[in-house]
């Protein structure tokens, strides 16, 4: 019944790529899907070294992956890893490799293109740590970074808390779309003023928080003045119906003898004090 169904036909109709290497690590078989995923056919790639050279043009990355791969084989274990490869056309793809030693020291390689899955996972991770409106980090990420920096050597560490003035008035009298514009413009100002290593987050409806590693009290005070000045400059140059202003408070951890969560609470209290003076 199966006499017309050759092994090659079966392998070429599988939903995963298949490659087989002999004991000398020469490729002896590559199915059509492997060629579709990588761009390489059996005539392009002769042996394992040539494959690594082609798929991982960056020598540092190539050596890391090759070492891990070789160590797995030496210990007789299966190798299972998702790696970003360069295809024959130069396109980058994420491919899941499963390599199994088989009889007589041959290797059976299964591979699947998981680029869509990896990109989706990245997107989900990004959304879980970012505010959808302003594209700043969210409270969850800010708290993770406070935990991380608690155990770092990047002191002094400063925290600034900011609260937009009269955002509720804007939302109630002019609509939430305009309120969103106030929030997005605030995010733009903070992003433009601060360093790439600073953590800026929207932590509530109208509240922002800034985490400043290796920043002392004098520098933090200067940053606060610059932020206030930039808000005032924008406020005077644009036609917002309600003043575009922000109240700020900050606190500084000079050494690691205080939790950054305590510093956060102190900065929050200082912000409300300053807000009450307006």
Q: Is 164 helix (H, G, I), strand (E, B) or coil?
A: strand
Q: Is 66 helix (H, G, I), strand (E, B) or coil?
A: helix
Per DSSP, 47 falls in state: B
Confidence grade of residue 236 (pLDDT, cut at 50, 70, 90): confident
Answer yes or no: is pLDDT of 3 > 60.
no
Place of tokens 């302003």: 134
Answer yes or no: is pLDDT of 5 > 60.
no
The whole-angstrom separation of Cα 260 and Cα 252 is: 9
The whole-angstrom separation of Cα 46 and Cα 13 is: 23
256 is catalytic: no
Answer yes or no: is pLDDT of 122 > 80.
yes
What average pLDDT is seen over the chain?
91
The whole-angstrom separation of Cα 244 and Cα 183 is: 10
The whole-angstrom separation of Cα 91 and Cα 199 is: 33
Answer yes or no: is pLDDT of 1 > 90.
no
The whole-angstrom separation of Cα 14 and Cα 163 is: 58
The whole-angstrom separation of Cα 162 and Cα 203 is: 10
| pLDDT score for 256 | 76
Mean pLDDT, to the nearest integer, of 195-224? 96
Confidence grade of residue 223 (pLDDT, cut at 50, 70, 90): very high
Answer yes or no: is pLDDT of 104 > 80.
no
Mean pLDDT, to the nearest integer, of 219-228? 97
In this structure, are residues 113 and 120 in contact, taking their beta carbons and an 8 Å threshold?
no
The whole-angstrom separation of Cα 80 and Cα 96 is: 7
Say if pTM beats, i.e. exceeds, 0.85. no
Mean pLDDT, to the nearest integer, of 133-146? 97
Least confident range from 44-48, 190-194, 257-261: namely 257-261
* Domains of the chain with CATH codes: 7-119 (3.30.450.20), 130-276 (3.30.70.270)
The whole-angstrom separation of Cα 160 and Cα 248 is: 7
Catalytic, out of 32, 206, 256, 268? 206
Number of CB atoms found within 10 A of residue 202's CB: 25
């Amino acid at each position: 019944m199966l006499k017309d169904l050759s092994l090659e036909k079966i392998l070429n109709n599988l939903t995963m790529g298949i490659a087989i290497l002999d004991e000398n690590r020469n490729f002896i078989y590559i199915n059509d899907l492997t060629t579709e995923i990588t761009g390489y056919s059996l005539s392009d790639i002769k042996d394992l070294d040539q494959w690594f050279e082609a798929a991982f043009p960056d020598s540092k990355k190539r050596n890391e992956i090759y070492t891990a791969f070789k160590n797995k084989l030496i210990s007789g274990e299966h190798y299972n890893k998702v790696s970003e490869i360069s295809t024959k056309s130069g396109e980058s793809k994420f491919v899941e490799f499963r390599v199994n030693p088989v009889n007589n020291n041959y290797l059976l390689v299964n591979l699947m293109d998981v680029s869509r899955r990896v990109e989706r996972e990245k997107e989900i991770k990004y959304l879980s740590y970012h505010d959808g409106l302003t594209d700043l980090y969210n409270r969850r990420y800010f708290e993770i970074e406070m935990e991380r920096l608690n155990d770092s050597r990047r002191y002094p560490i400063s925290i600034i808390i900011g609260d937009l003035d009269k955002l509720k008035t804007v939302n109630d009298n002019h609509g939430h779309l305009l309120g969103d514009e106030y929030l997005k413009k605030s995010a733009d100002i903070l992003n433009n003023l601060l360093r790439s290593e600073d953590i800026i987050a929207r932590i509530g409806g109208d509240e922002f928080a800034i985490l400043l590693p290796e920043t002392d009290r004098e520098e933090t005070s200067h940053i606060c003045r610059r932020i206030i000045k930039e808000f005032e400059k924008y406020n005077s140059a644009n036609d917002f119906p309600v003043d575009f202003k922000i109240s700020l408070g900050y606190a500084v951890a000079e050494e690691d003898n205080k939790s950054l969560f305590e510093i956060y609470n102190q900065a929050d209290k200082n912000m409300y004090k300053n807000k009450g003076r307006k």
